[in-house]
Amino acid sequence: MRFASDNSGPVHPRVMEALQAANDGWALPYGNDEWTTRAVEKVRTAFEAPEAAVYFTATGSAANALALATIAQPYQTIFCTPEAHIEEDECNAPEFYTGGAKLTLVESRDARMVPEALARVLESKSGENVHGAQMGPLSLTQVTERGTVYGLDHLNELTTLAKRHGIPVHLDGARFANALVSLGCSAADMSWRAGVDIVSFGGTKNGLMGAEAVVIFDPKLAWEFELRRKRGGHLFSKSRYLSAQMDAYLTDDLWLDMAKMANTAAQKVVSGLERIDGAQLLHPSEANMIYASFSSAAHRRLRDAGAQYYPSTGATEGPDDAHASCRIVADWSCPDAHIETFLAHVASD
Amino acid sequence: MRFASDNSGPVHPRVMEALQAANDGWALPYGNDEWTTRAVEKVRTAFEAPEAAVYFTATGSAANALALATIAQPYQTIFCTPEAHIEEDECNAPEFYTGGAKLTLVESRDARMVPEALARVLESKSGENVHGAQMGPLSLTQVTERGTVYGLDHLNELTTLAKRHGIPVHLDGARFANALVSLGCSAADMSWRAGVDIVSFGGTKNGLMGAEAVVIFDPKLAWEFELRRKRGGHLFSKSRYLSAQMDAYLTDDLWLDMAKMANTAAQKVVSGLERIDGAQLLHPSEANMIYASFSSAAHRRLRDAGAQYYPSTGATEGPDDAHASCRIVADWSCPDAHIETFLAHVASD
Amino acid sequence: MRFASDNSGPVHPRVMEALQAANDGWALPYGNDEWTTRAVEKVRTAFEAPEAAVYFTATGSAANALALATIAQPYQTIFCTPEAHIEEDECNAPEFYTGGAKLTLVESRDARMVPEALARVLESKSGENVHGAQMGPLSLTQVTERGTVYGLDHLNELTTLAKRHGIPVHLDGARFANALVSLGCSAADMSWRAGVDIVSFGGTKNGLMGAEAVVIFDPKLAWEFELRRKRGGHLFSKSRYLSAQMDAYLTDDLWLDMAKMANTAAQKVVSGLERIDGAQLLHPSEANMIYASFSSAAHRRLRDAGAQYYPSTGATEGPDDAHASCRIVADWSCPDAHIETFLAHVASD
Amino acid sequence: MRFASDNSGPVHPRVMEALQAANDGWALPYGNDEWTTRAVEKVRTAFEAPEAAVYFTATGSAANALALATIAQPYQTIFCTPEAHIEEDECNAPEFYTGGAKLTLVESRDARMVPEALARVLESKSGENVHGAQMGPLSLTQVTERGTVYGLDHLNELTTLAKRHGIPVHLDGARFANALVSLGCSAADMSWRAGVDIVSFGGTKNGLMGAEAVVIFDPKLAWEFELRRKRGGHLFSKSRYLSAQMDAYLTDDLWLDMAKMANTAAQKVVSGLERIDGAQLLHPSEANMIYASFSSAAHRRLRDAGAQYYPSTGATEGPDDAHASCRIVADWSCPDAHIETFLAHVASD
């Protein structure tokens, strides 16, 4: 039962084939190869952004930190939610890459930033004098860190506030594809048409071995990004093996198909939980991640069965009828049988 | 004719097989997987260093910058040669990762640091007051950036000076294996037994897809290294695919075999050049990299034949008998036929 | 009417005399002078800390940032209140000097950190894995940014929590003297005896021209502090003129006398406001800073009379009976007549 | 005999008077005071640059580091001489403030940068690819660190090379006034008319207590400089006391008069040494600093007489007729009697 994270499943066979195909012979290093050219073009096509600067990194933290460093100054603050990956899970990578910018936490509900809260914070920062950190980028996460998805209206409302104050917008799209298939809109709708300036476009959590794209809609930032990527140690000499992954990802809708498989798997778990007395969702589950609560007895059964997921601390230690929360994530490779077994263990009270 | 760089050839088939094998199913992320455990153990065995802390990164610049940041303070200076990769080819990654340490360039011959020069510089820095950068690590490169290899005596002489002044020693071993087979010694001889404290142990230039190890002989530095790797965005969620490369690399001497193939190929080029009137070596070629000079006419013939190597600027533009320099590098995959064709083009004056 | 800030008044005449006296002739630079030796000794005596390392800076932001950089690592987070000067008023100086550490905001009441909130946050950070910022120093502000003063029990409760988690404690004592005379305890009681490891000991807001001391109770940190001060550009060649200020400050209790004068002046304002119908204190005023609220009509009268203080935005624009907040600060030089005039303007509704 | 440094003498009485005068009452903090307004205007007038942005700091290292951080990017390198203060005497402050830029050392003669060497280095850096540090500012020092002065032609030749490559020029003018009276030109001639973009305009070494100005000829950089100064901890709350120094400095030519006194004193020493058999100048002494060599016996006599200057290590330990070098610096306050005594001690062989 593999529900710990979408970074724990296998690489999709078509991606492995693409890597094997890319291994045929000799290629110029540092992105001067045909795979990179092709993959960049496919990202541009996917985003309907023929002028966009597109670069690949191997980790999402690198994509986020480099993207933010390119649009933030060290004397600024970046606005994000308290749950954001850049705040919680990158061991100060944004502070490091920006040369010491701050992160300002803006109130969220179900990990979605509250527009009124952002409006208040930006208003209070507007015209900030020399003593305080200056307004820097807004960074949003889609899918959010609690499994919810911003609707396009919500996204637009937030980015409109940012534009009004003249600050750029970053989208942490580690699960971009999962959000996209959830909303049923286009990549352009969910990025530049919604006021986003720079996207961390994830692949690693969605069936790649380790490849993310940074999509920069203003190509004037391209060279600075390249220099920052290099000095961060993130320019791969054998870039073709990053690019080949991204190339396969964007071929024949593989990225969307895998995201659909992941979301569908998660929604089966959701449906199952909804039918179980005493189980409850802690946040709406709108893509491939679930925050739920059920009995400690159920957590113990899952543990004993070797289920992989993230129960909260002490979840297995309460009395039988104590409720304890957990995180459940599905990826493209999740077998139906795992879902059924998982639910059976939860339900058997 | 593939002589541009050892980062341009294909990944060895056994490494591709290992990646495929590692793709079987689900694994815990961030290095908590069996491939990582196994690969770490193999590195320790290769270095006869059972206590060493071992971590994997995907690029050599990351390995170097993280290693140096772990042993240098921001108010120190790092001693290296003017040709060092950390000085010339990392776009200030060492300065970035150390938080602003300086690099002090020490005189070299054939890109090998001159012990008398190091002694003088360290002496002058000894007891430095608060105004100057303080003595930080010594960083040496093996194979050097001009294709020479430090003998063990030479290495020991330099590290002894470092120890005398209480500074740690980093070895940039992007071509560690090539140096090792050149010297015919053990990895321990060329590292901790020679006074080296931390090694960037390269794999990418020697048949891997993108995997390096940082070997830290003092395990007390382990946790700090892990934190610095994470905040640099260099901790891979799907770490097994880095580790599987390193695992295959260190299985059945693949790393040494590939290095021998690369060195042998280069030495064939060297022997050929030595027989060609007017061609000359600019530095002793002791591993898989050659700096040579020959006629502009020859450079033109090579260019027209599509040879991949690095001629100096304007090399193809001189009169027929003008001499112009170039860099030639061989990797494990270099076919003999390429060598012969290359030499034939150089020789046909 | 001078209530804008305690950084706006004149330097005390005895400090000016000390500067004049220090100007007699030639002295070795960079702190190798008799004034520095003497002032360091006086700080040690004042803190009953004969082994403490003591350094002078010209600004409080420098003192704070250097102190924190000496005890924090770039992959850590610093715990402070949302109102802390290091969070609100130093334009990311702590992030800059620490090389990218984070600040974690802990709930406060009247700008005093709530022990239960700190306990919760530290508990949640305890055993943090590699993904999150690691626990770094606790930084407390005394007098707080809202004019309240931590009692010794409160201080001890917070530092005990810090000790339990093995993190060092910094005290931002920009108004150290004002807090001390408010509590009536000794400098040792309010610092190392209360579990504080490093103090920014302010002078500039209390009658000096521009001089603060950093007091480090563990002298092993001394040399690192010196190097960080130098590379921050905060080592004065003519150090004697910083030291002479601090020397005078600590002579014949001048520092305590000035703090008493400031506190007394503020308490007269407080007493006056308490007698005015409709005026109210927003936080307990326990030293020389007052947060109060009174009518917009009163704010207009004060503005027209040229009173210097910080009304909130729009304070003068409401209807006559609207209430609007403000900050009022007194320093040693505040004349009684100013207090009376100020209060008269507030009261005349 | 006070020849150790021009940072060791007293503050000029007129500067002390100005500080006393500025202490009359209350003033708005952070530069919003009349002294700052007046001093800024006087700097603009002195430089014939009515639009220039002008800011004050208390140390020269702060002025240099902030100036460079404002015009350099972290992925660039700064060109300077091996003797430059920013390379030798600031404990990596430039690397720190720029976020990790590098310093590239360009060959010098008598500490003056050699134009041909700069041309070569810039040529080699021109069109640098992503791997190497990019071309950043040129930083020149006037008076140089060996007591020589760039002629205007020399300055122009260097800055013309910089302009040709599109890089900005910083002038470290810690001894700006001494150079100016040496050349007999105007401040504009020696700065913006000579192609300089930003100047560290020193005062501390020329009779002030601790005040430097950064003069930025392109006012578009003003706000970024202010933010960087603040986050460096270099914005003084009681700014009037910096400004009052600079105000007095630029009143009635005090700055030039003090520089003349210092230069004249040094030239008396030079003349004396030239008459002494066996004494010799190591570099032309063109302002107030002398590098000279004379007998160990003379060094011993000076030591025994308590002379303050910087003999080289071991200067007093050689045989009587061994020659040993030293640095001698004069400031405005140097008494003729000291010069005569000093020379008498040198000469008495």
- Transcribe D176-223 into DSSP letters: HHHHHHHHT--TTTTTGGGT--EEEE--GGGT-SS-EEEEESSGGGHH
Q: Does residue C271 have a pLDDT over 80? A: yes
Chains that touch D (3 or more CB pairs under 8 A): A, B, C
Report how far residue B221's alpha carbon sits from residue B199's, in angstroms, rounded to the nearest whole number.
13
| Residue C5 DSSP label | -
Class of the CATH domain delimited by D257-346: alpha beta
- Between strands D169-173 and B169-173, the pairing is unpaired
C133–chain A Cβ distance below 8 A for any pair: yes
Cβ <8 Å between A231 and D99: no
Q: Does residue C1 have a pLDDT over 90? A: no
Q: Note the pTM of the prediction, 2 decimals.
A: 0.97
Give, for D153, the enclosing helix (H) or strand (E).
helix D152-164
User: Which of D30, D134, D228 is the closest to A75 by Cβ?
Assistant: D228
C-alpha distances out from residue C269 to C205, C258, C285, C338, Å:
19, 17, 10, 10
Give D-chain residues touching C26 at CB under 8 angstroms.
Answer: 2, 8-10, 308, 333
Q: Which among D233, D159, D234 has a CA at the least distance from the CA of D194?
A: D159
> By the 8 A CB rule, do B260 and B298 touch?
no
| Residue, of B190 and D127, whose pLDDT is higher | B190
Retrieve residue C148's tokens.
């309240």
User: Which of C88, C100, C105 is the closest to A132 by Cβ?
Assistant: C88
| Residue range B146-189, pLDDT digits in tens | 999 999 999 999 999 999 999 999 999 999 999 999 999 999 99
User: pLDDT category, C349, cuts 50, 70, 90?
Assistant: low
| Residue A25 DSSP label | S
C-alpha distances out from residue B130 to B71, B109, C222, C232, D167, Å:
20, 32, 12, 12, 31
> Looking at residues D199-207, what average pLDDT do you find?
98
Helical packing angle, D296-304 and D336-347, nearest 10°: 140
Give D-chain residues touching B77 at CB under 8 angstroms.
Answer: 92
pLDDT of residue D321: 83
> By the 8 A CB rule, do C330 and C205 touch?
no
Site from D76, D91, D98, D103 to mutate, B interface, most B CB atoms within 10 angstroms: D91
pLDDT of residue B144: 98
Cβ <8 Å between C8 and D28: yes
Distance of CA D101 to the CA centre of its chain: 21
Report how far residue A137's alpha carbon sits from residue A167's, in angstroms, rounded to the nearest whole number.
5
Chains that touch B (3 or more CB pairs under 8 A): A, C, D
Cβ <8 Å between A95 and C77: no
Mean pLDDT of chain C: 97
Give B-chain residues touching D103 at CB under 8 angstroms.
Answer: 102
C-alpha dihedral, B236 to B241 to B243 to B248, nearest 10°: -160
User: pLDDT category, B321, cuts 50, 70, 90?
Assistant: confident
pLDDT of residue D25: 85
| Residue range A89-125, pLDDT digits in tens | 999 999 999 999 999 999 999 999 999 999 999 999 9
Beta-ladder partners of A215: A54, A199
| Residue B276 DSSP label | S
3-state secondary structure of D341: helix
Report how far residue A149's alpha carbon sits from residue B14's, in angstroms, rounded to the nearest whole number.
42
**Residue C123, CB-side half-sphere exposure with 13 Å CA sphere:** 7
**Residue D267, CB-side half-sphere exposure with 13 Å CA sphere:** 12
> By the 8 A CB rule, do C322 and C309 touch?
no
> Looking at residues C271-286, what average pLDDT do you find?
96
pLDDT of residue B349: 67
| Residue range C103-162, pLDDT digits in tens | 999 999 999 999 999 999 999 999 899 999 999 999 999 999 999 999 999 999 999 999
C134–chain B Cβ distance below 8 A for any pair: yes
B110–chain C Cβ distance below 8 A for any pair: no
Q: Is the dihedral of CA D251, D256, D260, D263 positive or negative?
A: positive
How many residues does the structure list for chain A?
349
Distance of CA A50 to the CA centre of its chain: 23
CB neighbourhood size of C131 (10 A): 16
φ, ψ for residue A294 (rounded to 5)?
Answer: -155, -175
Q: Does residue A168 have a pLDDT over 70? A: yes
- What is the residue extent of each domain of chain D? 13-254, 257-346
D51: burial class by Cβ within 10 Å (0-12, 13-18, 19+)?
exposed
Report how far residue C301's alpha carbon sits from residue C295's, in angstroms, rounded to the nearest whole number.
10
Distance of CA B233 to the CA centre of its chain: 22
Contact partners, residue C208, CB within 8 Å, separation at least 6: C11, C12, C15, C245, C246, C249
Report how far residue A330's alpha carbon sits from residue A147's, in angstroms, rounded to the nearest whole number.
11
Contact partners, residue C234, CB within 8 Å, separation at least 6: C57, C58, C62, C66, D59, D62, D233, D234
> By the 8 A CB rule, do D230 and A131 touch?
yes
D310-311 β-sheet, strand order:
D280-281, D289-295, D323-329, D310-311
| Residue range C21-38, pLDDT digits in tens | 999 889 999 999 999 999
User: pLDDT category, D329, cuts 50, 70, 90?
Assistant: very high
Cβ <8 Å between C333 and D231: no
> By the 8 A CB rule, do C179 and C143 touch?
yes
Give, for D318, the enclosing helix (H) or strand (E).
none
pLDDT of residue C25: 85
CB neighbourhood size of D145 (10 A): 24
> Looking at residues A130-138, what average pLDDT do you find?
98
| Residue range D169-184, pLDDT digits in tens | 999 999 999 999 999 9
- Between strands D169-173 and D198-201, the pairing is parallel
A227–chain D Cβ distance below 8 A for any pair: yes
> Looking at residues D43-60, what average pLDDT do you find?
98
| Residue range A197-214, pLDDT digits in tens | 999 999 999 999 999 999
CB neighbourhood size of B160 (10 A): 14
pLDDT of residue D3: 93
C-alpha distances out from residue D200 to A147, B93, D78, D119, D235, Å:
53, 28, 16, 24, 16
Give B-chain residues touching C74 at CB under 8 angstroms.
Answer: 99, 231
D228–chain A Cβ distance below 8 A for any pair: yes
pLDDT above 90 covers a percentage of chain D that reads 95
C-alpha dihedral, D189 to D192 to D195 to D198, nearest 10°: 130
> Looking at residues C207-212, what average pLDDT do you find?
98
> Looking at residues B262-277, what average pLDDT do you find?
97
User: pLDDT category, C44, cuts 50, 70, 90?
Assistant: very high
C-alpha distances out from residue B158 to B65, B139, B196, Å:
21, 10, 10
| Residue range C312-344, pLDDT digits in tens | 999 999 898 889 999 999 999 999 999 999 999
Retrieve residue D78's tokens.
């700064």
Retrieve residue D281's tokens.
């100048």
pLDDT above 90 covers a percentage of chain A that reads 95
Question: Which CATH architecture best describes the domain D13-254?
Answer: 3-Layer(aba) Sandwich (3.40)
CB neighbourhood size of B23 (10 A): 21
